[in-house]
Structures are given as structure tokens and as C-alpha cells.
Structure 1
Amino acid sequence: MSAPIEVETPDELKYNFLPNISGQFQFRVRAANDAHIALTTEAAETDPMYEVFIGGWGNSKSIIRKNRSKPDVAEVPTPGILNAGEFRGFWVRWRNGTISVGNEGESQPFLSWTDSENIPISYVGICTGWGASGKWIIEESTPNSSTLSSKMCWIPASGGNVPPRAFVGGEDNGEPQYVIRANFQGGIIPGKLISSHGTAYVPWGGEENPVSEYEVLCDFNGTWVPSSEGKVPPNAPAAGETEESEPLFIGRVTHEGTITVGKIQPSHGVCYISYGGQELNFANYEVLVA
């Protein structure tokens, strides 16, 4: 792993840009107030652009802004969130139009907003201002560790609806099972959709959890390969992540006459499926690869 990048920013509100297509920006910053982060398509302040202000307005609140326009699209009180005498750690993540901001070591964001326009982010800019200079320690961002694959097309749906060209991953009683994922308990969890049930399901916490809103994998030309004990091939795209940001992969198993789609969690060494109200785990499974 590469050493962290150290950057000093003066009190001038001028962004320093770094390339970043990983889907996340992990950093620590020492500043009295106004640590600003820009998410852009180019290494410049051009529309479209998102901005995150941490500790703005005298270190009293944090906001998300689009295209430098007011009113701000999201705002939350964060008194004392920055400190001029010590480093404070944060993360910023972006995927499927959702921008989220959180504290280092915490999986839940304290600030988030979803844009209907899904802007492809290629650069991150940092700066300080309004009376504050800053020192930043920026961690290496690696797509394989915490970012979901850009090779996969996910279409939002709900209520058992199936978008056109949905990917069939299994079957249950002669009915197709579609590959889905859903936001659940702070993570993005792969699972299954059985349209006649009017809902999708994700395995989590020992239970089969129904989810009324989900994303369906579409337009995907993938194949299944056998594996076991948490192993996934290099060409297996990450499709979700746990609440601790561990990547999750799509797996399936044959169980009681069904071919049931679920999630592979490498650190647990198994593929989990939701079936009969329970979360079941299997050491042997198939992995979806690109």
C-alpha cells in the first residue's frame, strides 16, 4: 500500500485537485474550520460539481452543495467538528448519485444527499479558507477495497417490479430469481428478487429480510464459476459492501430444489442466502464473474 499523501492548504479557498475514480475519499485534516472537498469530472472548478464543506460557518455546520449554487442541498449542525490543534478523520463516498460523508471509524454517514443526475466523479479537490489553513493526510483510494464495480448496471425498482433486461441468477419453483442489491442496516447487500412475492430479499443478521426498494442488475453478460470458503476470482465484480465497508460479491447455491442468489462475504468464508425466513451460509457456492 502506498504511503499517505500529505498536503497543506492555505487560507485562500483555492482547490488542489487529485485524480480519484475509486468512489471514496478517506482523509484526516487539521484545521480550525472550513475543510472543503470538491468532487468533479475535471481537475478544475467546472459544472457539474459537488462540494462538501466540513466545519463551515465558524465550525458550526457541514453542508453539501451542487454547482456552487444556493440553497445548499443538505445541511447538518456539526459544532466543533474540526480542530486546529489535532487531526480529525473523515470519509466522503459517492455512488449511484448519492454523496455521503462520515467520521473515521464510523460506518453511518452524518451527512448525505442523493442527486437524480449521476455525475461521474474523476477528481477530488481540497482547500481551506475563511480564516483557516489546513494540513491533510490523504489515504490511498483503491477501487477493489471499497468501491462497487462500474462494470455493473443497477436499475432502481420496487414492489416486485423487474426492469427490462434484468439478469436472471437463479430460480425458485420454476420462477426466475433476479440479482438485486439494497441499502440495508448501513450496508449495500446483494440478494434475490422473486417478482410474484412483490418484494426482494437480502440475507443479514441471521434472517431473510424483505426489502420493498432495491436495485436490479441489468444488461450484464456474466457467468458463474464454482468456488468455496470465501474465495472469489479476480474478475468477480464487487456488488455491495458491509456496514464496515468490506466488499460483498454475488454468489448462489443450490438448496432444496432452488438455485438461490445471495452474498459472498470473504472474511466469513461463506456465501449467505436468504431462504425460508432465515439467513443460511454455505462454504461451497458459485460466484458471478464478468
Structure 2
Amino acid sequence: MANVMDVATDDNLQYQFFPVSSGSVQFKVRAANDAHIALTTGPQESDPMYEVMIGGWGNAKSVIRKNRTKPDKVEIESPGILNGGEYRGFWVRWDSGIISAGREGEAIPFISWSDPEPFPVYYVGVCTGWGATGSWKIEVPPTAPVAAALYAAPPGYPGGYGGNVPPPSGGAGIWVDVSGGQVPPGAVVGGQDCSGEPLYVARAVHEGATIPGKLVPSHGCAYVPWGGIEHGKPQYQILVGGPNNWVPTSGSNVPPGAFPGGETEDGEPLYIGRVRHEGSLTTGKVQQSHGVCYISFGGQELGFPDYEVLMP
């Protein structure tokens, strides 16, 4: 049985985000016009991003937009589709690049678009604006983390990513100091937890070492593996605007030019790796002299001889 999350949105076009672990979301919304749904890789407005705008232009049209740019990918006439006095039910799906939306109880979408360059969707955002407020009832599958589900971007990130300053994308990437589960715009998604929550490439200092690991936003901390144990770190750094090029390898065969992630207390370079384990895709540290990728999982440090390593 799905849980229902009640969300209120103001007349400000500010998205409120929550994680999703499936390829669809179902909801009811009470709004006079402009109920907007965003599909993103992280819990903030940043490209890549799909938007399904229901009841725009005075509750007359609905559109699908990509990366917040016009022209819209598809536009339909939808007069009176929303109602400020009653809840209307809808669903939004994303599957193999096909973005579609339909009314509750109807299998055929009223709007859809096929993206030739799709991206993975880990978060859904909802907002209202253009004179409308919204009251939403969103179905959340029980496998998805419900506690602390809404992620509001803090007003200003260290490193200058507050306001409307766009983060870097692609290229070398930079490490940004953050804390308490915060995810800066442009953060590199490294994998996902067993629940489907995205995991971000993180690192933290421990016992004189700078150790790559994972950020679990809903836990409010990053985790790094060291000394056989998983260590939670409320203060950490996140890789922003960096590469997302993962190359399979094994043992001590770290490809030349692998993206540096930190170093041991003895000064040995550590690289950023990831492995699949018990339904998760978890990021951790590659220590070449040990011939394994270590991840933190379930309180332990676990080593894997087969892994993927992050390349520029």
C-alpha cells in the first residue's frame, strides 16, 4: 500500500523535491492553474530536467519542456484540466526516454514526448505559480524513503553556488564543502541505495586520510570506509560538475589518468570506485596497493576486487 505525502506549494514556481525509486508518480492536485512537475537527477533545479506543465496559460494548455528552455517539446490544448476547488488525479511516467502524463484511471496519456537523449530520473519536484497555489496528495511507494523526503536547497552553498549562479558541468569538477545531507547543484550522482535513493560522490577526512565515499542525503551525512568500519561524517565534500564516466576494471588495474579522489594517511592516492552490492550501486575508495574497491555498507568496510572506477 503506497503512502500518501501531502505537499502544499505556494504561488512562487519553487519546486519541492522528493526521491523516487520507480518510473512513475501518481498524485492528486488542487490548483486553479499551472501545476508543474519536474523530473531530475538531483533534488534541485538543474539540467538535465524535464518539466510537465499541466494547466498553464490560464488553465488552457499543457506542455512538456526540457532543460527549462523553449520551444516546448510538445503542447496540447487542455482547457479546464485543473480545478482550484477540487482534487484532480494524474500520473506522470518516464520509460526509456518516453515522458508521458495522463489522468487518473486512464491508461492513455493526454501528452507524451520521446527524448532521443534521455537521462536517469531520481527525483520528482512539484510547484505552482502564475497566480495559483497548490495542494498535493502524492503517492509514495513504501520502498522509497518517506522520512525527510522533501529536500529544500539551502539558500547558499559554500563555493558560491547560491542564488542563480549555475554550477560547472562536465570537465574536471570541484569539491564543495557541505554538511548535514545537503546536495549542491550539479553534484555527481554515483549510484543509488537499496531504497532507490540517489548516492552522490563524496569524500571526508578521517584519521589523517581524505577518503572517497558516498552521500546519503536522507541520512544527513556522508559515509567513508576505513579500518573495517563504516564512518558517518556530517561534514564532507561533494564532487560538483565533474565527470560521470565509470570504467569497469579489477584488482590493481587502475587505468592511467583515473580521477583522483583523495589519499591515505600515508600519502597513497585513492581513486573513486563503485560496486553493486545487495541491490545498491555504492561509491567508495579504490586503493591500488590493496587491489580492491572499498565501500561502506551496513556499518562495515567491504572490499571488492571487481569494480568500476571514475575517469575524467
TM (normalized to structure 2)?
A: 0.45
TM (normalized to structure 1)?
A: 0.49
